[in-house]
Amino acid sequence: MTQRDLNIISELLKRTNDLPDILHLRAAPIGYELTRTDEELLLDTYQKLDDILKEVAAFINVKFSGRQDYIQPWNEIDFDTKIGGFKIVTTDREHTKSAWKKGIFDLKSLIKTLINETTLLVDEEKEIKENLLFNENEWDKYYDQRLEKRADEADFFLDMIIEKGLINLDKLTVRKYFKKWFNESHDFDLQIENGDFVIEDGDFQTVPNSGKDNIPEFLKWFENEGNNFMEFLKEQGVNVKKGSKETIINSGNLIINQNSKIKKQTIKNGTEQQESNWSKANIITALVVGVATIAGVLWQIFG
């Protein structure tokens, strides 16, 4: 829905409001003879009203196709007197005026309802266009930022590839390949957060933080996804050293073992130090007890 659509339906309401007042002619006193001017005014008004009705119907069919909540009210608009649903000819002037007023009222009500919904749809379209995520360039920037984040989390993995000489590429190029692989082989979920669209769930969260403090989680991920990445590099024409997967896993496990030994050594050294302190304390305690015992014996002898 566009602003042009809103202008069209709003103009139809204006044209309806501007219709000439012909009640005095439709409900003219008995015996009143219409003048040529009266006939022209009636004909002109009926023609304008007919055009408005047709254009409202066209608007509904095009912009709100199949909407019975609009189609039915349009079908029920009538300007003639009725009794029990059947049109009648009557000389009752008030009945004639009432039927005409009701028809105009129903037409205006329908148009106003159309204007209200059209306004909401136009505002929604405007909001969507103004949302940066619906701007192709801004979307690409945002999407690339998310990929950069995942490449950052795989930094340890990329460093290991280069350090072990598994491929003859610089780190920047490897990052580009990683982002391209992630983009082509992973899906993502678009969700609303704080009233805005964001990419958070889905495969965008499958890469663990691959720092040295989280190597076990990284190796678990690499068992599946990492190998796919290495295969992707081969498909891109990159010369990947044979056994790269095993090299990375072994290197990761080696770091884990080293970290484990360091922790054990730290605990052991702490225990030895504690034991040493306890030994010194025991020696001092024994000396004190010994001196006290000797003093007690001497006191008994010479006392």
In the Cβ-directed half-sphere of 93, how many Cα atoms lie within 13 Å?
10
Q: What is the pLDDT of residue 283?
A: 43
**Quick check: is 176 in a domain?**
yes
Maximum Cα–Cα distance for the chain, whole Å?
159
Q: 171 and 244 in one domain? A: yes
Could you tell me which residues come within 8 angstroms of residue 48 by beta carbon, excluding any fewer than 6 positions away? 15, 19
Contacts 24+ apart (CB under 8 A), 209-215: 209/153, 210/153, 210/154, 210/155, 210/156, 210/157, 211/155, 211/156, 212/156, 212/255, 215/156, 215/252, 215/255, 215/256
Q: 59 and 169 in one domain? A: no
**Quick check: is 70 in a domain?**
yes
Distance separating alpha carbons of residues 291 and 176, to the nearest angstrom? 78
Q: Which domain-ending residue is among 209, 234, 253?
A: 253
Nearest to 153 by CA among 195, 210, 233, 218: 210
pTM: 0.49
Q: What is the mean pLDDT of the chain?
A: 75
pLDDT at 4 over 90: yes
**Quick check: is 59 in a domain?**
yes
Cβ–Cβ under 8 Å, residues 73 and 110: yes
**Quick check: is 294 in a domain?**
no
pLDDT at 241 over 70: yes
Q: 97 and 12 in one domain? A: yes
Q: What is the pLDDT of residue 256?
A: 60
Distance separating alpha carbons of residues 272 and 280, to the nearest angstrom? 12
Q: 161 and 79 in one domain? A: no
Q: 95 and 56 in one domain? A: yes
**Quick check: is 66 in a domain?**
yes
Q: How many residues does the chain have?
A: 303
**Quick check: is 284 in a domain?**
no
Of 43-57, 95-109, 162-176, 261-275, the one with minimum mean pLDDT is 261-275
Q: Where are the beta strands (DSSP E) in the chain?
A: 82-83, 86-87, 188-193, 196-202
Nearest to 116 by CA among 193, 152, 173, 64: 64
Count of domains observed in the chain: 2
- Among the ranges 5-14, 90-99, 173-182, 187-196, which has the highest mean pLDDT value? 5-14
Which is more confidently placed, 213 or 161? Answer: 161
Q: 43 and 159 in one domain? A: no
Q: What is the pLDDT of residue 277?
A: 46
Q: 160 and 119 in one domain? A: no
Average pLDDT of 268-284?
47
Cβ–Cβ under 8 Å, residues 178 and 253: no
Q: How confident is the model at residue 69 (pLDDT cuts 50, 70, 90)?
A: very high
- Residue 186 φ/ψ region, left for φ over 0, alpha for ψ in the -120 to 50 degree band, beta for the rest: beta
Q: Which domain holds residue 122?
A: 3-130
pLDDT at 109 over 70: yes
pLDDT at 137 over 70: yes
User: pLDDT of 180-224, one tens digit each?
Assistant: 887 887 665 555 455 444 544 444 444 444 444 566 766 776 776
Which is more confidently placed, 85 or 211? Answer: 85
Angle at which helices 68-75 and 93-130 cross, to 10° = 160
**Quick check: is 189 in a domain?**
yes
Q: How confident is the model at residue 141 (pLDDT cuts 50, 70, 90)?
A: confident
Q: 16 and 67 in one domain? A: yes
Cβ–Cβ under 8 Å, residues 112 and 6: no
Q: 212 and 179 in one domain? A: yes
Q: Which domain-ending residue is among 236, 253, 270?
A: 253
Q: Which domain-ending residue is among 130, 146, 163?
A: 130
Percentage of the residues of the chain whose pLDDT score is greater than 70 = 66
**Quick check: is 278 in a domain?**
no
Q: 151 and 71 in one domain? A: no
What separation, in Å, do the N-terminal and C-terminal C-alpha atoms of the chain show? 117
Q: Which residue is listed with tokens 């498909």?
A: 235
pLDDT at 19 over 80: yes
Q: 215 and 96 in one domain? A: no
Q: 126 and 137 in one domain? A: no
Tell how many helices (H) and how many strands (E) occur in the chain: 11, 4
